[in-house]
Amino acid sequence: MSAPFPPRRGEAVKRLYEFSNLAIAMVFFTSAADAAVSQQARALIDHLTGGKGTYAADDGVYRVTFPREGATIAQGYQNLSPNLGLNSWSAFTSAIHHEAILTGQFLLLEDEVNPVITVALDAGLDVTGLAASSVFEGPRLQTLDVTGTGTFQGLASAFRKGLDEIRRVRRTANPRLTKVVIPAVPLESAIDAGPLVAILSMRGGVVGGVYKAAIGSRAILHGEVIGREMGMSTWVSFAGTNDRALASGEFVETPDGLKVLLRALRAKGVNIVSIRNHTLGEHPQFVFVRFWGQDSALELAKKIRSVLHTQVGAMAPNPREKI
Protein backbone atom coordinates (compact mmCIF):
# COMPACT_ATOMS: atom_id res chain seq x y z
CA MET A 1 0.00 0.00 0.00
CA SER A 2 1.42 3.37 -1.02
CA ALA A 3 1.82 6.15 1.53
CA PRO A 4 -0.85 8.88 1.40
CA PHE A 5 1.87 11.46 0.84
CA PRO A 6 5.28 11.08 -0.90
CA PRO A 7 8.34 11.30 1.47
CA ARG A 8 9.49 14.78 2.54
CA ARG A 9 7.27 16.73 0.15
CA GLY A 10 4.29 14.72 1.30
CA GLU A 11 5.14 15.31 4.94
CA ALA A 12 5.36 19.04 4.30
CA VAL A 13 2.00 19.04 2.53
CA LYS A 14 0.47 17.04 5.36
CA ARG A 15 1.77 19.49 7.98
CA LEU A 16 0.54 22.44 5.92
CA TYR A 17 -2.89 20.76 5.71
CA GLU A 18 -2.98 20.24 9.49
CA PHE A 19 -1.85 23.81 10.11
CA SER A 20 -4.60 25.12 7.78
CA ASN A 21 -7.22 23.20 9.71
CA LEU A 22 -5.84 24.55 12.98
CA ALA A 23 -5.87 28.10 11.61
CA ILE A 24 -9.48 27.73 10.48
CA ALA A 25 -10.47 26.38 13.89
CA MET A 26 -8.67 29.25 15.63
CA VAL A 27 -10.47 31.80 13.45
CA PHE A 28 -13.80 30.13 14.20
CA PHE A 29 -13.33 30.06 17.96
CA THR A 30 -11.81 33.55 18.03
CA SER A 31 -14.74 34.97 16.07
CA ALA A 32 -17.18 33.16 18.36
CA ALA A 33 -15.46 34.63 21.39
CA ASP A 34 -15.52 38.11 19.85
CA ALA A 35 -19.19 37.82 18.83
CA ALA A 36 -20.43 39.38 22.03
CA VAL A 37 -22.98 42.16 21.71
CA SER A 38 -22.02 44.82 24.21
CA GLN A 39 -24.43 46.18 26.78
CA GLN A 40 -24.22 49.53 25.01
CA ALA A 41 -25.20 47.94 21.68
CA ARG A 42 -28.10 46.07 23.32
CA ALA A 43 -29.43 49.28 24.85
CA LEU A 44 -29.13 51.01 21.47
CA ILE A 45 -31.04 48.18 19.73
CA ASP A 46 -33.83 48.36 22.32
CA HIS A 47 -34.05 52.12 21.95
CA LEU A 48 -34.16 52.08 18.14
CA THR A 49 -36.53 49.13 17.68
CA GLY A 50 -38.82 49.97 20.59
CA GLY A 51 -38.50 46.45 21.99
CA LYS A 52 -36.80 44.71 24.86
CA GLY A 53 -34.49 41.89 23.84
CA THR A 54 -32.85 38.91 25.47
CA TYR A 55 -29.18 38.03 25.22
CA ALA A 56 -27.88 34.50 24.53
CA ALA A 57 -24.32 34.76 25.79
CA ASP A 58 -23.28 31.33 24.46
CA ASP A 59 -24.04 32.40 20.89
CA GLY A 60 -23.36 36.10 21.34
CA VAL A 61 -26.82 36.91 19.92
CA TYR A 62 -29.24 39.62 21.01
CA ARG A 63 -32.80 38.83 19.95
CA VAL A 64 -35.81 41.13 20.12
CA THR A 65 -39.36 39.80 19.71
CA PHE A 66 -42.39 41.88 18.75
CA PRO A 67 -45.69 40.08 19.45
CA ARG A 68 -48.65 40.99 17.20
CA GLU A 69 -51.74 40.28 19.25
CA GLY A 70 -53.98 42.24 16.88
CA ALA A 71 -52.95 40.07 13.93
CA THR A 72 -53.54 36.73 15.63
CA ILE A 73 -57.26 36.70 16.33
CA ALA A 74 -58.80 33.29 15.74
CA GLN A 75 -62.52 32.59 15.38
CA GLY A 76 -63.27 36.29 15.62
CA TYR A 77 -62.77 36.64 19.37
CA GLN A 78 -59.86 34.58 20.73
CA ASN A 79 -56.23 35.72 20.54
CA LEU A 80 -53.64 33.03 19.90
CA SER A 81 -50.47 32.92 21.96
CA PRO A 82 -47.39 34.62 20.46
CA ASN A 83 -45.51 31.55 21.70
CA LEU A 84 -46.91 29.76 18.65
CA GLY A 85 -44.42 31.78 16.62
CA LEU A 86 -46.94 34.51 15.84
CA ASN A 87 -44.63 37.48 16.14
CA SER A 88 -42.01 39.54 14.37
CA TRP A 89 -38.41 39.24 15.55
CA SER A 90 -34.87 40.42 14.86
CA ALA A 91 -31.54 38.95 16.00
CA PHE A 92 -28.18 40.74 16.09
CA THR A 93 -24.62 39.55 16.53
CA SER A 94 -21.12 40.86 15.90
CA ALA A 95 -19.48 39.90 12.60
CA ILE A 96 -15.99 39.53 11.17
CA HIS A 97 -16.26 41.65 8.02
CA HIS A 98 -18.87 44.06 9.41
CA GLU A 99 -19.70 45.43 12.82
CA ALA A 100 -22.92 43.43 12.92
CA ILE A 101 -25.20 41.04 11.08
CA LEU A 102 -28.98 40.84 11.38
CA THR A 103 -31.48 38.11 10.66
CA GLY A 104 -35.17 38.66 11.22
CA GLN A 105 -38.74 38.04 10.26
CA PHE A 106 -41.83 40.21 9.97
CA LEU A 107 -45.25 38.71 10.69
CA LEU A 108 -47.59 40.49 8.32
CA LEU A 109 -51.20 40.76 7.31
CA GLU A 110 -51.69 40.55 3.56
CA ASP A 111 -52.12 44.27 2.97
CA GLU A 112 -48.83 44.95 4.78
CA VAL A 113 -46.64 42.62 2.70
CA ASN A 114 -45.70 44.72 -0.31
CA PRO A 115 -45.39 48.05 1.56
CA VAL A 116 -43.03 46.42 4.07
CA ILE A 117 -41.01 44.78 1.27
CA THR A 118 -40.53 48.21 -0.32
CA VAL A 119 -39.49 49.83 2.97
CA ALA A 120 -37.13 46.98 3.90
CA LEU A 121 -35.37 47.14 0.54
CA ASP A 122 -35.12 50.94 0.69
CA ALA A 123 -33.61 50.61 4.18
CA GLY A 124 -30.84 48.38 2.82
CA LEU A 125 -32.07 45.01 4.08
CA ASP A 126 -32.08 41.86 1.96
CA VAL A 127 -35.50 40.24 1.57
CA THR A 128 -34.87 36.50 1.37
CA GLY A 129 -38.21 34.75 1.80
CA LEU A 130 -41.98 35.24 1.81
CA ALA A 131 -44.52 32.56 2.64
CA ALA A 132 -48.01 32.04 4.01
CA SER A 133 -48.03 31.51 7.77
CA SER A 134 -51.72 30.92 8.52
CA VAL A 135 -52.56 27.56 10.08
CA PHE A 136 -55.55 28.66 12.18
CA GLU A 137 -58.90 30.21 11.40
CA GLY A 138 -58.50 33.96 11.34
CA PRO A 139 -56.53 36.60 9.40
CA ARG A 140 -54.31 35.34 6.60
CA LEU A 141 -50.75 35.88 7.80
CA GLN A 142 -47.47 36.05 5.90
CA THR A 143 -43.89 35.80 7.13
CA LEU A 144 -41.23 37.95 5.46
CA ASP A 145 -37.58 36.99 6.06
CA VAL A 146 -34.85 39.64 6.03
CA THR A 147 -31.10 39.78 6.60
CA GLY A 148 -28.57 42.57 6.66
CA THR A 149 -25.00 43.58 7.46
CA GLY A 150 -23.68 46.89 8.75
CA THR A 151 -23.65 48.64 12.10
CA PHE A 152 -25.89 47.81 15.06
CA GLN A 153 -27.41 51.26 14.77
CA GLY A 154 -28.05 51.03 11.04
CA LEU A 155 -29.55 47.54 11.19
CA ALA A 156 -31.79 48.30 14.16
CA SER A 157 -33.00 51.47 12.45
CA ALA A 158 -33.69 49.55 9.23
CA PHE A 159 -35.76 46.92 11.04
CA ARG A 160 -37.66 49.63 12.92
CA LYS A 161 -38.68 51.16 9.59
CA GLY A 162 -40.40 47.89 8.71
CA LEU A 163 -42.25 47.91 12.04
CA ASP A 164 -43.24 51.54 11.51
CA GLU A 165 -44.60 50.67 8.08
CA ILE A 166 -46.82 47.99 9.61
CA ARG A 167 -48.24 50.60 11.98
CA ARG A 168 -48.72 53.08 9.13
CA VAL A 169 -50.70 50.56 7.07
CA ARG A 170 -52.85 49.62 10.05
CA ARG A 171 -53.62 53.28 10.81
CA THR A 172 -54.71 54.03 7.25
CA ALA A 173 -56.45 50.73 6.44
CA ASN A 174 -60.11 50.00 6.93
CA PRO A 175 -60.18 48.10 10.25
CA ARG A 176 -62.74 45.72 8.81
CA LEU A 177 -60.48 44.82 5.88
CA THR A 178 -57.25 43.19 7.03
CA LYS A 179 -56.17 41.65 3.75
CA VAL A 180 -55.43 42.59 0.18
CA VAL A 181 -58.40 42.34 -2.14
CA ILE A 182 -57.14 39.82 -4.66
CA PRO A 183 -58.73 40.42 -8.07
CA ALA A 184 -61.31 37.86 -9.10
CA VAL A 185 -60.28 35.37 -11.75
CA PRO A 186 -61.87 36.48 -15.05
CA LEU A 187 -64.77 34.23 -16.02
CA GLU A 188 -63.92 34.66 -19.69
CA SER A 189 -60.65 35.63 -21.37
CA ALA A 190 -59.91 37.06 -24.79
CA ILE A 191 -56.30 38.24 -24.79
CA ASP A 192 -54.69 39.31 -28.07
CA ALA A 193 -51.22 37.77 -28.18
CA GLY A 194 -49.71 39.91 -30.94
CA PRO A 195 -49.02 43.13 -28.99
CA LEU A 196 -47.79 41.17 -25.97
CA VAL A 197 -45.30 39.17 -28.01
CA ALA A 198 -43.95 42.40 -29.50
CA ILE A 199 -43.45 43.99 -26.09
CA LEU A 200 -42.25 40.99 -24.08
CA SER A 201 -40.11 39.38 -26.80
CA MET A 202 -41.32 36.07 -25.40
CA ARG A 203 -42.75 33.54 -27.81
CA GLY A 204 -46.02 32.72 -26.08
CA GLY A 205 -49.38 31.37 -27.11
CA VAL A 206 -53.07 31.74 -26.35
CA VAL A 207 -55.16 28.84 -25.07
CA GLY A 208 -58.76 29.46 -24.06
CA GLY A 209 -58.22 33.20 -24.39
CA VAL A 210 -55.31 33.17 -21.88
CA TYR A 211 -51.83 34.16 -23.04
CA LYS A 212 -48.83 32.42 -21.49
CA ALA A 213 -45.11 32.60 -22.21
CA ALA A 214 -41.94 31.40 -20.53
CA ILE A 215 -38.16 31.89 -20.61
CA GLY A 216 -36.09 28.94 -19.48
CA SER A 217 -32.99 28.78 -17.29
CA ARG A 218 -30.60 25.87 -16.81
CA ALA A 219 -29.26 24.35 -13.61
CA ILE A 220 -27.44 21.25 -12.44
CA LEU A 221 -29.54 19.12 -10.09
CA HIS A 222 -28.21 15.79 -8.74
CA GLY A 223 -25.49 16.02 -11.38
CA GLU A 224 -27.99 16.35 -14.24
CA VAL A 225 -28.97 19.33 -16.39
CA ILE A 226 -32.55 20.57 -16.03
CA GLY A 227 -34.25 23.51 -17.72
CA ARG A 228 -37.53 25.19 -18.61
CA GLU A 229 -39.75 22.15 -18.93
CA MET A 230 -38.47 20.88 -15.57
CA GLY A 231 -39.66 24.07 -13.88
CA MET A 232 -36.57 26.29 -14.17
CA SER A 233 -38.31 29.18 -15.90
CA THR A 234 -39.61 32.71 -15.70
CA TRP A 235 -43.21 32.66 -16.87
CA VAL A 236 -46.18 34.99 -17.12
CA SER A 237 -49.83 34.57 -18.05
CA PHE A 238 -52.48 37.15 -18.97
CA ALA A 239 -56.19 36.53 -18.43
CA GLY A 240 -59.24 38.73 -18.89
CA THR A 241 -59.50 41.28 -21.68
CA ASN A 242 -57.04 43.57 -23.42
CA ASP A 243 -58.46 46.55 -21.50
CA ARG A 244 -58.69 44.86 -18.09
CA ALA A 245 -56.22 42.06 -17.63
CA LEU A 246 -54.82 40.07 -14.76
CA ALA A 247 -51.15 39.09 -15.07
CA SER A 248 -49.61 36.49 -12.83
CA GLY A 249 -46.41 34.53 -13.01
CA GLU A 250 -43.05 33.76 -11.51
CA PHE A 251 -39.54 35.10 -11.93
CA VAL A 252 -36.55 32.81 -11.45
CA GLU A 253 -33.43 34.50 -10.10
CA THR A 254 -30.13 33.71 -8.39
CA PRO A 255 -29.54 35.00 -4.84
CA ASP A 256 -27.12 37.65 -6.13
CA GLY A 257 -29.81 39.21 -8.31
CA LEU A 258 -32.77 38.83 -5.96
CA LYS A 259 -32.65 42.31 -4.44
CA VAL A 260 -32.49 43.97 -7.87
CA LEU A 261 -35.46 41.90 -9.05
CA LEU A 262 -37.58 42.70 -6.00
CA ARG A 263 -36.83 46.42 -6.26
CA ALA A 264 -37.76 46.40 -9.94
CA LEU A 265 -41.08 44.65 -9.27
CA ARG A 266 -42.02 47.04 -6.47
CA ALA A 267 -40.93 50.09 -8.49
CA LYS A 268 -43.53 49.11 -11.08
CA GLY A 269 -46.21 48.44 -8.49
CA VAL A 270 -46.23 44.70 -9.15
CA ASN A 271 -47.43 42.70 -6.15
CA ILE A 272 -45.13 40.01 -4.73
CA VAL A 273 -46.91 36.89 -3.47
CA SER A 274 -44.11 34.53 -2.44
CA ILE A 275 -40.32 34.15 -2.43
CA ARG A 276 -39.24 30.51 -2.21
CA ASN A 277 -37.19 27.60 -3.51
CA HIS A 278 -38.47 24.90 -5.85
CA THR A 279 -35.51 22.55 -5.48
CA LEU A 280 -32.58 22.01 -3.11
CA GLY A 281 -28.92 21.55 -4.01
CA GLU A 282 -29.15 22.86 -7.56
CA HIS A 283 -26.31 24.86 -9.12
CA PRO A 284 -26.59 27.74 -9.48
CA GLN A 285 -29.09 28.18 -6.68
CA PHE A 286 -32.40 29.63 -7.87
CA VAL A 287 -35.08 31.56 -6.00
CA PHE A 288 -38.61 31.86 -7.40
CA VAL A 289 -40.66 35.05 -6.97
CA ARG A 290 -44.42 34.76 -7.59
CA PHE A 291 -46.22 37.97 -8.61
CA TRP A 292 -49.46 39.46 -9.90
CA GLY A 293 -50.74 42.74 -11.26
CA GLN A 294 -53.90 44.21 -12.75
CA ASP A 295 -54.10 46.80 -15.54
CA SER A 296 -54.56 46.83 -19.29
CA ALA A 297 -52.71 43.99 -20.98
CA LEU A 298 -50.32 46.40 -22.72
CA GLU A 299 -49.46 48.28 -19.53
CA LEU A 300 -48.85 45.04 -17.67
CA ALA A 301 -46.62 43.80 -20.48
CA LYS A 302 -44.60 47.03 -20.36
CA LYS A 303 -44.10 46.67 -16.61
CA ILE A 304 -42.95 43.07 -16.93
CA ARG A 305 -40.66 43.94 -19.84
CA SER A 306 -39.09 46.67 -17.71
CA VAL A 307 -38.47 44.16 -14.90
CA LEU A 308 -36.93 41.71 -17.40
CA HIS A 309 -34.61 44.45 -18.68
CA THR A 310 -33.56 45.25 -15.13
CA GLN A 311 -33.06 41.57 -14.34
CA VAL A 312 -30.61 41.00 -17.19
CA GLY A 313 -28.79 44.26 -16.50
CA ALA A 314 -30.02 46.16 -19.55
CA MET A 315 -31.22 48.94 -17.26
CA ALA A 316 -31.01 49.82 -13.58
CA PRO A 317 -34.06 50.31 -11.39
CA ASN A 318 -34.81 53.98 -10.84
CA PRO A 319 -34.43 54.69 -7.09
CA ARG A 320 -36.58 57.81 -7.48
CA GLU A 321 -39.48 55.93 -9.06
CA LYS A 322 -42.32 55.65 -6.56
CA ILE A 323 -45.12 53.11 -6.54
Cβ neighbors of 323 (< 8 A, separation 6 or more) are 118, 266, 267, 268, 269
- Work out the pLDDT band at 186, boundaries 50, 70, 90: confident
Instruction: Using pLDDT thresholds of 50, 70 and 90, give the confidence band for residue 67.
Output: confident
CA distances from 39 to 31, 55, 64, 92 (A): 18, 10, 14, 13
Tell me: the pLDDT tens digits for 3-58?
444 444 455 544 555 555 544 444 444 444 456 899 999 999 999 999 999 999 99
- Phi, psi angles (nearest 5°) of residue 186: -60, 135
Query: Minimum mean pLDDT among 69-78, 104-113, 297-306: which range?
Result: 69-78
Please report which residue ranges of 151-192 form alpha helices under DSSP H.
152-172
User: What span, in angstroms and rounded, lies between the C-alpha atoms of 197 and 206?
Assistant: 11
Task: Please tell me the distance from the alpha carbon of residue 8 to that of residue 10, in angstroms, as a whole number.
Answer: 5
Each residue of 219-241: pLDDT tens digit? Answer: 999 999 999 999 999 999 999 99
- Which backbone phi and psi does 115 adopt, to 5 degrees? -60, -40
Do residues 91 and 104 make contact, with C-beta atoms less than 8 angstroms apart?
A: yes
Helix or strand holding residue 219 (H, E) = strand 219-221
Mean pLDDT of the chain: 83
Share of the chain above pLDDT 90, in %: 67
Sheet-wide strand order for 141-150: 54-56, 61-67, 87-94, 100-109, 141-150, 126-132, 271-276, 287-295, 245-253, 233-240, 210-216, 205-207
Using the Cα atoms of residue 109, residue 111, residue 112 and residue 117 in order, give the sign of their dihedral: positive
Architecture of domain 39-172: 2-Layer Sandwich (3.30)
CA distance 274 to 319: 23
Instruction: Name the percent of the chain lying above pLDDT 70.
Output: 75
pLDDT tens-digit series, residues 136-148:
556 788 999 999 9
Considering the segment(s) 193-311 as one domain, its CATH architecture is: 2-Layer Sandwich (3.30)
Of the ranges 144-148, 168-172, 215-219, 308-312, the best mean pLDDT one: 144-148
CA 118, 120, 123, 125 torsion: positive or negative?
Answer: negative
> Which among 152, 131, 113 is positioned nearest to 266, based on CA atoms?
113
Tell whether the model's pLDDT for residue 156 goes beyond 50: yes
Whole-angstrom Cα distance, residue 115 to residue 168? 10
pLDDT of residue 137: 58
Find the mean pLDDT for residues 121-148. Answer: 87
Mean pLDDT within 278-299: 95
Q: Which of 111 and 12 is assigned the larger pLDDT?
A: 111
| 3-class secondary structure, 137 | coil
